[in-house]
Amino acid sequence: MSFLEELNRRRTFGIVSHPDAGKTTLTEKLLLFGGAIQVAGAVKSNKIKKSATSDFMEIERQRGISVATSVMAFEYRGVKVNILDTPGHQDFAEDTFRTLTAVDSVIVVIDVAKGVETQTEKLVKVCRMRKTPIIVFINKLDREGKDGFDLLDEIEEKLGLNVRPMSWPVGMGQRFKGVYSMYEKKLVLFRPHSKQDDEDMVEITDLSTTKLEELVGEEAAAELRDEVNMIEEVYPEFVVQDYLDGEISPVFFGSAINNFGVRELLDCFIDIAPGPLARITEERTVGPKEDKFAGFVFKIHANMDPKHRDRIAFLRICSGTFQRNTNYLHVRQNKKIKFSNPTSFMAAKKTVVDEAYPGDVIGLYDSGNFKIGDSLTEGEILHFKGIPSFSPEQFRYVNNTNPLKAKQLAKGLSQLMDEGVAQLFTKEFDGRKIIGTVGALQFDVIQYRLEHEYGASCSYEPVNLHKACWVEANDDKSLKEFLSKRKRDIAKDKDGHLVFLAESAWTLKMAQDNFPDIQFHFQSEF
């Protein structure tokens, strides 16, 4: 297959939602349809000792939530689909925001009963800023929920999206009979817990046919006709280019846990979703059709396989062809590196790839060379933009509770910080270590992973801090004066950069007023 053919058959998208809207279940069902897995894991069931394929970390299995982005690839109708399943929980939003830089389109999952929730609003705002094409999947139709039109109004109002239903439910909850696909002009009848092969699909190009009454009953048939007529009158006609420009969002209804409505979503996605898009760098725009390889690291994961203590950098390929065992320039370090076993993912299962194309996400085994945001190229100096990093908002002292495992604790903290989930600060005054995170749940995850992946145990102690600011000055004298006067508040981050730990907003304001020559940065990389 030629380079352009490979390029045109790539679809890379992220699945985002509020926690518990059914995002991971939808991912599983998409993989099931793609033949990538044979049996879906019951995400919340403890009776069945399977768990969702995409939730591969032990703590995710225990809590029933996703705490790390996982990457999965499968083939469907000749198209190579790359799914990035993101954490829904707000404490892991940083991971999700970074992942959104690596996708070309997004599927937003909404719970029919709960409607649009706060975390969904935040994530969609990021997508809209970037004009990322969005498809909406309204899930859990087998339960009682909000009226379909009320939900569409809520999506338009809260998320600021212009919507166009592409399928429409026949009833809901106990009365749920199925979904009518306006995209394919087909009625799909609902059979609870049926396998995808058992779904009853009936082609109905004209809803006035009496066949509809035979299939769903008179009342449901009349209701469906009225509602579809209303949709045709009220909502704009679906134009693919408007979707690609981020101007309109197709909406699908279904029940992921029951395998229902998922195939219609996937079929439409394959037809309309964009292939690999251009990426902006500080130097220029990088187009996917360019010959020369370029890509960026948007995530680092330590211990994907705890037996091997491996650390993997997730690389999104933006242009050219990535070849195994080829020297590429690591732009930040200005050195050439080659990779003997780059991998493609099926959640925690990995296979070595010889080459990969724009849109693909591959894993590179990393001995500590990479940071989030790093670029790899064939030689050109490129710095990819838009990969966010946040100043921590919650802080705790970290104490070693097992002196015999000091080395393991140091190694574990170092590797987990590289993932970008938290920041580690060492105070200059007394050498105490402070972990700063965006959300409180991160502390539990770090403690759990230190114990189970590194054999190190730690305890936390509260510390009263408002903000961590990275400081620098053009004038050495000013910097020295600042450091000597504020020495109790000075720390160094993992890379040795100076950090000012402000106890309150007032302390920060005073420091800024008293030392005008000092630059205070609120981003973790500057």
- Provide the pLDDT for residue 208: 75
pLDDT at 66 (0 to 100): 42
> What pLDDT score was predicted for residue 130?
79
Give pLDDT, residue 453: 80
β-pairing verdict for 375-377 and 361-365: unpaired
pLDDT tens per residue, range 414-440: 877 777 778 889 998 888 999 988 777
User: Does position 472 have pLDDT exceeding 70, yes or no?
Assistant: yes
DSSP code, position 304: S
Query: Band of the pLDDT at 368, cuts 50, 70, 90?
Result: confident
CA-based nearest residue to 35, from 197, 164, 173, 183: 197
Query: How many other β-carbons are positioned within 10 Å of the β-carbon of residue 481?
Result: 16
What is the distance between the alpha carbons of residues 349 and 325, in angstroms, rounded to a whole number? 21
pLDDT band, very low/low/confident/very high, at 347 (cuts 50, 70, 90): very low
pLDDT value of residue 310: 66
Domain topology for 279-377: Rossmann fold (3.40.50)
Q: HEC string of 420-480?
A: CCEEEEEECCCCCEEEEECCCHHHHHHHHHHHHHHCCCEEEEECCCCEEEEEEECCHHHHH
Q: How far apart are CA 202 and CA 206, in angstroms?
A: 12
The answer to whether the CB of 137 falls within 8 A of the CB of 110 is yes
Choice among 176-190, 398-412, 503-517 with the minimum mean pLDDT: 176-190
CATH number among 3.40.50.150, 1.20.810.10, 3.40.50.1000, 3.40.50.300, domain 3-173+236-272? 3.40.50.300
Give mean pLDDT, residues 195-223.
73
Question: Is 324 or 25 the better-scoring residue by pLDDT?
Answer: 324
Lowest mean pLDDT segment, chosen from 54-68, 364-378, 382-396: 54-68
Kindly tell me if the per-residue pLDDT of 155 is higher than 90. yes
When pLDDT is averaged across residues 338-365 and rounded to a whole number, the result is 81
Name every residue whose Cβ is closer than 8 Å to that of residue 197 and which is 6 or more positions away in sequence: none
pLDDT at residue 349 in the model: 58
41 pLDDT tier (thresholds 50, 70, 90): very low
Percentage helix, strand, coil for the chain under 3-state DSSP, each rounded to 5: 30, 30, 40
Alpha-carbon gap, residue 244 to 242, rounded angstroms? 5
pLDDT-derived band of residue 91, with 50, 70 and 90 as boundaries? very low
Taken as a whole, the chain contains a residue count of 526
Which CATH architecture does the domain made up of 394-521 adopt?
A: 2-Layer Sandwich (3.30)
Task: Flag whether pLDDT at 125 surpasses 70.
Answer: yes
* Mean pLDDT calculated for residue range 375-402: 84
- Give 126-148 pLDDT, tens digit per residue: 788 778 999 999 998 888 888 88
Share of the chain above pLDDT 70, in %: 84
Contact 220, 171 (CB under 8 A): yes
Strands 349-352, 70-76: pairing is unpaired
Percentage of residues in the chain with pLDDT exceeding 90?
Answer: 29
Check residue 452 and give its pLDDT.
Answer: 82
Is the CB of residue 192 less than 8 Å from the CB of residue 142?
yes
| Domain map (residue ranges) of the chain | 3-173+236-272, 279-377, 394-521
303 φψ region: left (φ > 0), alpha (ψ -120 to 50), beta (else): left
For the chain, the average pLDDT equals 81
Q: Which whole number is the average pLDDT over 78-90?
A: 73
pLDDT given for residue 287 in this prediction? 92
> Token pair for residue 94?
């940083």
Residues 94-118 have pLDDT tens digits of 666 777 888 999 999 999 999 888 8
Higher pLDDT, 55 or 248: 248
Q: Is 124 in contact with 97 (CB distance < 8 Å)?
A: no
Closest CA to 347 of 109, 43, 44: 43
In this structure, how many other beta carbons lie within 10 angstroms of the beta carbon of residue 161? 22
pLDDT above 50: residue 445: yes
Same fold, 3-173+236-272 and 279-377: yes
